[in-house]
Amino acid sequence: MADNFNFELVSPERLLLSEMVTEVVIPATDGEMTVMANHAPTMTTIKPGIVSVRSANGSKQDYVVFGGFADILPTGCTLLAESAVIVQDLSKDELTLRIEAAKRESEDAVHHEHKSRLEHYIMELTHLQGVINPD
Residue 118 has a pLDDT of 83
Same domain for 79 and 96, yes or no, is no
Q: Are residues 71 and 103 in the same domain?
A: no
Query: Domain total for the chain?
Result: 2
Domain housing 58 = 5-87
Mean pLDDT of the residues in the chain: 90
Q: What is the pLDDT of residue 119?
A: 85
| Neighbouring C-beta atoms of residue 27, cutoff 10 Å | 24
* pLDDT average, residue stretch 31-37: 95
Q: Which residues are within 8 A (CB) of 124 and not within 5 positions of it... i.e. 6 or more apart?
A: 47, 48, 49
Judgement on whether residues 31 and 64 belong to the same structural domain of the protein: yes
pLDDT at residue 38 tops 70: yes
Q: Is the pLDDT of residue 84 over 60?
A: yes
Question: Whole-model pTM?
Answer: 0.84
- Clarify whether residues 9 and 66 are in a common domain: yes
Q: How sure is the predictor about 16, in pLDDT bands with cuts at 50, 70 and 90?
A: very high
Measured from the Cβ of residue 129, the count of other Cβ atoms closer than 10 Å reads: 19
Within 4-120, strands assigned E span: 5-10, 15-28, 31-36, 42-46, 49-55, 60-65, 68-73, 76-81, 84-86
